[in-house]
Chains A and B, each alone.
Chain A
């Protein structure tokens, strides 16, 4: 299966991805991002999502946890990482193992 890649975010950051061959979808706020994701989820198999948009959409993104595709990856696009991806990882770890094996 040949899949496509997309990035959902705002401002400058998505432009550079566009130049690198990833389809860019601008979304300035949470509501817009939700709309865009709903629209492109079937078509794109790998979707990068700006962390600051992913955080408020946590519950919405859970619905993609059951199927292998699409893969939605929160990535930092601002000046600093806000640790959302790490948090997600930790919560998955807690669900599965019940202990924290990374923090030492």
Chain B
């Protein structure tokens, strides 16, 4: 490992020692942070995976049902019927911090506009009613999935970044500092011995 290009003086030695202790402490802290982030990440990941498979199967079955319902109604009727939403969904979006990473947090609140579905029952088959209702109940789950998935991705990026920092400290910065400190100490000792020998010779 290359040592730093500094003059072997006491001043430098003192400075480097301070830097080394900071680096060691930083390394420990970052390593702890990394461990905790990975722990949270695995929890989120498992949650996300379970939620995704659940939502996906439900969504597909709902959409299948809906396309059946669509196929038996004329296009223009269906379009006008579904143009008006039954509920107005509001998403309250905030940001939550997980280990210093800002992740989204969404709370849904549905506001009923009118009782029941927004079209005449004679126009649309009942399958469509079911699927619209199903999607409406599925929506909170979908939002939850979106939220966790984003958190997983954000955390993944941050974990990678943090890992790089830890490695840079562990394998580059700290060895470099240690070697330079050793070099300066050797050099200073050598000077001291040389001075003693010179004095002895003079006497």
Contact = CB atoms under 8 A, between A and B. Distances in A.
Interface residues on A, range: 35 or more
Chain A contact residues: over half helix, strand or loop, or mixed? Answer: mixed
Nearest to B110: A21
Mostly, the B contact residues are helix
Contacts, number: 160
Given A15-B70, A73-B142, A85-B149, A3 B92 contact: yes
Interface residues of B, number: 63
A100 to B, nearest CB: 11
B67 interface: yes
Interface of A: 1-5, 12-13, 15-22, 45-46, 48, 65-66, 68-69, 71-73, 75-81, 85-86, 88-89, 92-93, 95-97, 101-102
Interface of B: 38, 41-42, 45-46, 48-49, 52, 55-56, 59-60, 62-64, 66-67, 70, 78-79, 81-95, 102-104, 106, 110, 117-118, 128, 131-132, 135-136, 139, 142-143, 145-147, 149-150, 152-157, 159-160
